Amino acid sequence: MAHTREPKYRMYVDEVGNPDMSRCHQPAHRQLSLTGVILDLEYARTTAAPRLAALKQKYFARDADEPSVILHRKEMMYRQGEFGVLRDPAISASFDGDLLSLLEALDYVVLTAVIDKFEHREKYKVWRAQPPPERPTWSPAHDGVPRMATRRTWCPGGRAAGHGGIQSRGGCTKAVSGEL
Protein backbone atom coordinates (compact mmCIF):
# COMPACT_ATOMS: atom_id res chain seq x y z
CA MET A 1 0.00 0.00 0.00
CA ALA A 2 1.43 3.37 -0.99
CA HIS A 3 1.92 5.95 1.73
CA THR A 4 -0.12 9.09 1.15
CA ARG A 5 1.07 12.31 2.63
CA GLU A 6 -1.46 14.30 4.63
CA PRO A 7 -1.31 17.75 3.13
CA LYS A 8 0.07 20.61 5.16
CA TYR A 9 -0.38 24.19 4.14
CA ARG A 10 1.37 27.51 4.44
CA MET A 11 -0.53 30.79 4.54
CA TYR A 12 1.28 34.02 3.74
CA VAL A 13 -0.56 37.06 5.10
CA ASP A 14 -0.27 40.75 4.42
CA GLU A 15 -2.51 43.67 5.20
CA VAL A 16 -3.79 46.72 3.41
CA GLY A 17 -4.41 49.50 5.84
CA ASN A 18 -3.08 50.07 9.28
CA PRO A 19 -3.80 48.02 12.40
CA ASP A 20 -3.56 51.16 14.57
CA MET A 21 -6.77 51.63 16.55
CA SER A 22 -6.20 55.23 17.67
CA ARG A 23 -7.67 56.77 14.49
CA CYS A 24 -10.24 54.10 13.62
CA HIS A 25 -13.05 56.66 13.94
CA GLN A 26 -11.66 58.48 10.89
CA PRO A 27 -13.05 57.16 7.58
CA ALA A 28 -9.60 56.92 5.98
CA HIS A 29 -8.35 54.69 8.83
CA ARG A 30 -11.45 52.65 9.62
CA GLN A 31 -10.82 49.51 7.55
CA LEU A 32 -8.10 46.88 7.75
CA SER A 33 -7.91 44.26 5.02
CA LEU A 34 -6.04 41.02 5.59
CA THR A 35 -5.25 38.77 2.65
CA GLY A 36 -3.89 35.27 2.99
CA VAL A 37 -2.42 33.19 0.19
CA ILE A 38 -2.58 29.47 0.99
CA LEU A 39 -0.40 26.87 -0.70
CA ASP A 40 0.32 23.22 -0.09
CA LEU A 41 3.58 23.29 1.93
CA GLU A 42 5.46 20.87 -0.31
CA TYR A 43 4.23 22.68 -3.43
CA ALA A 44 5.32 26.01 -1.93
CA ARG A 45 8.83 24.64 -1.30
CA THR A 46 9.35 22.79 -4.54
CA THR A 47 7.42 24.82 -7.10
CA ALA A 48 5.98 28.18 -6.08
CA ALA A 49 8.95 29.60 -4.13
CA PRO A 50 11.59 28.64 -6.73
CA ARG A 51 9.49 30.02 -9.59
CA LEU A 52 8.85 33.29 -7.74
CA ALA A 53 12.55 33.54 -6.83
CA ALA A 54 13.49 33.08 -10.50
CA LEU A 55 11.10 35.85 -11.53
CA LYS A 56 12.54 38.21 -8.91
CA GLN A 57 16.11 37.37 -9.91
CA LYS A 58 15.32 37.99 -13.58
CA TYR A 59 14.12 41.55 -12.96
CA PHE A 60 15.64 42.57 -9.61
CA ALA A 61 18.97 40.73 -9.52
CA ARG A 62 20.75 40.61 -6.19
CA ASP A 63 23.83 38.85 -4.91
CA ALA A 64 23.18 35.30 -3.69
CA ASP A 65 23.80 36.25 -0.05
CA GLU A 66 21.27 39.10 -0.07
CA PRO A 67 17.59 38.54 0.73
CA SER A 68 15.29 38.71 -2.28
CA VAL A 69 13.22 41.78 -3.03
CA ILE A 70 9.73 41.88 -1.47
CA LEU A 71 6.99 42.62 -3.97
CA HIS A 72 5.23 45.51 -2.25
CA ARG A 73 2.34 46.81 -4.34
CA LYS A 74 2.89 50.46 -3.47
CA GLU A 75 6.61 50.42 -4.27
CA MET A 76 5.95 48.54 -7.49
CA MET A 77 3.14 50.87 -8.52
CA TYR A 78 5.22 54.02 -7.96
CA ARG A 79 8.41 52.40 -9.32
CA GLN A 80 10.29 53.13 -6.09
CA GLY A 81 13.61 51.67 -4.98
CA GLU A 82 14.53 48.50 -6.83
CA PHE A 83 11.34 48.77 -8.83
CA GLY A 84 12.77 51.81 -10.62
CA VAL A 85 13.78 49.44 -13.46
CA LEU A 86 10.06 49.17 -14.24
CA ARG A 87 10.05 52.79 -15.44
CA ASP A 88 11.30 51.36 -18.73
CA PRO A 89 8.08 50.52 -20.61
CA ALA A 90 9.56 47.41 -22.25
CA ILE A 91 10.84 45.99 -18.95
CA SER A 92 7.57 46.85 -17.24
CA ALA A 93 5.49 45.10 -19.92
CA SER A 94 7.74 42.03 -19.78
CA PHE A 95 7.61 41.89 -15.95
CA ASP A 96 3.83 42.35 -15.88
CA GLY A 97 3.37 39.56 -18.43
CA ASP A 98 5.71 37.20 -16.58
CA LEU A 99 4.10 37.94 -13.21
CA LEU A 100 0.57 37.43 -14.54
CA SER A 101 1.61 34.19 -16.24
CA LEU A 102 3.13 32.95 -12.98
CA LEU A 103 0.03 33.86 -10.98
CA GLU A 104 -2.16 32.04 -13.51
CA ALA A 105 0.07 28.94 -13.46
CA LEU A 106 0.48 28.48 -9.70
CA ASP A 107 -1.97 26.51 -7.55
CA TYR A 108 -3.10 28.55 -4.52
CA VAL A 109 -6.13 29.87 -2.67
CA VAL A 110 -6.61 33.51 -1.69
CA LEU A 111 -8.71 34.57 1.31
CA THR A 112 -9.44 38.15 2.28
CA ALA A 113 -11.05 39.50 5.43
CA VAL A 114 -11.97 43.14 5.91
CA ILE A 115 -12.20 44.37 9.47
CA ASP A 116 -14.11 47.48 10.44
CA LYS A 117 -11.75 48.62 13.19
CA PHE A 118 -14.24 51.06 14.70
CA GLU A 119 -16.91 48.36 15.01
CA HIS A 120 -14.32 45.93 16.34
CA ARG A 121 -13.17 48.39 19.00
CA GLU A 122 -16.74 49.06 20.09
CA LYS A 123 -17.58 45.36 20.27
CA TYR A 124 -14.44 44.29 22.14
CA LYS A 125 -13.99 47.18 24.57
CA VAL A 126 -12.35 45.01 27.21
CA TRP A 127 -9.37 44.41 24.92
CA ARG A 128 -9.07 48.08 24.13
CA ALA A 129 -9.13 49.01 27.80
CA GLN A 130 -6.71 46.32 28.92
CA PRO A 131 -5.04 44.07 26.35
CA PRO A 132 -4.25 40.56 27.59
CA PRO A 133 -0.67 40.23 28.95
CA GLU A 134 0.32 37.88 26.15
CA ARG A 135 -0.74 40.52 23.60
CA PRO A 136 0.44 43.92 24.86
CA THR A 137 0.43 45.29 21.31
CA TRP A 138 -2.86 43.71 20.26
CA SER A 139 -4.41 44.67 16.94
CA PRO A 140 -7.42 43.48 14.94
CA ALA A 141 -5.05 41.34 12.86
CA HIS A 142 -4.56 39.07 15.88
CA ASP A 143 -8.23 38.10 15.58
CA GLY A 144 -8.58 38.34 11.82
CA VAL A 145 -5.86 35.95 10.72
CA PRO A 146 -6.97 32.92 12.77
CA ARG A 147 -10.62 33.53 11.86
CA MET A 148 -9.75 33.80 8.20
CA ALA A 149 -7.70 30.59 8.29
CA THR A 150 -10.28 28.55 10.15
CA ARG A 151 -13.14 29.21 7.76
CA ARG A 152 -12.00 26.00 6.04
CA THR A 153 -14.11 26.55 2.96
CA TRP A 154 -10.84 26.45 1.03
CA CYS A 155 -9.72 23.04 2.29
CA PRO A 156 -10.86 19.67 0.95
CA GLY A 157 -12.28 17.72 3.88
CA GLY A 158 -12.55 20.85 6.00
CA ARG A 159 -9.44 20.28 8.16
CA ALA A 160 -5.79 21.04 7.58
CA ALA A 161 -2.56 21.54 9.46
CA GLY A 162 -0.04 24.14 8.58
CA HIS A 163 1.77 27.37 9.29
CA GLY A 164 1.01 30.99 8.66
CA GLY A 165 3.21 34.02 8.69
CA ILE A 166 2.58 37.73 8.70
CA GLN A 167 5.22 40.02 7.32
CA SER A 168 7.40 41.76 9.87
CA ARG A 169 6.45 45.30 10.84
CA GLY A 170 8.78 47.26 13.07
CA GLY A 171 10.85 44.20 13.99
CA CYS A 172 7.90 42.06 15.09
CA THR A 173 6.92 39.02 13.06
CA LYS A 174 3.73 37.18 13.90
CA ALA A 175 3.71 33.49 13.04
CA VAL A 176 0.91 31.02 13.57
CA SER A 177 1.25 27.23 13.57
CA GLY A 178 -1.24 24.48 14.05
CA GLU A 179 -4.58 23.63 12.63
CA LEU A 180 -5.74 25.97 9.92
The pLDDT tens digits of the residues spanning 68-91 come to 898 988 899 999 999 999 999 999
How many DSSP H helices and E strands does the chain contain?
7, 5
pLDDT value of position 2: 60
Give which of 6, 173, 162, 35 is closest to 111, Cα–Cα. 35
Confidence check: pLDDT of 6 > 60:
yes
Average pLDDT, the chain: 80
pLDDT (average), residues 29-41: 90
pLDDT value of position 100: 97
Q: Other C-beta atoms within 10 Å of 58: how many?
A: 11
Distance CA 144, CA 76 (A): 26
What's the pTM value of the predicted model, to 2 decimals? 0.74
**Which one is predicted more confidently, 48 or 64?**
48
Distance CA 130, CA 121 (A): 12
**Edge-to-edge strand ranges of the sheet holding 31-40:** 109-116, 31-40, 8-17, 161-169, 172-179
Q: Decide: 120 and 32 in contact? Cβ < 8 Å.
A: no
Supply the Cα-derived Rg of the chain in whole angstroms. Answer: 19
Q: Which pLDDT band, with edges at 50, 70 and 90, does 171 fall under? A: very low
**SS3 label, residue 12:** strand
Confidence check: pLDDT of 149 > 70:
no
Confidence check: pLDDT of 33 > 70:
yes
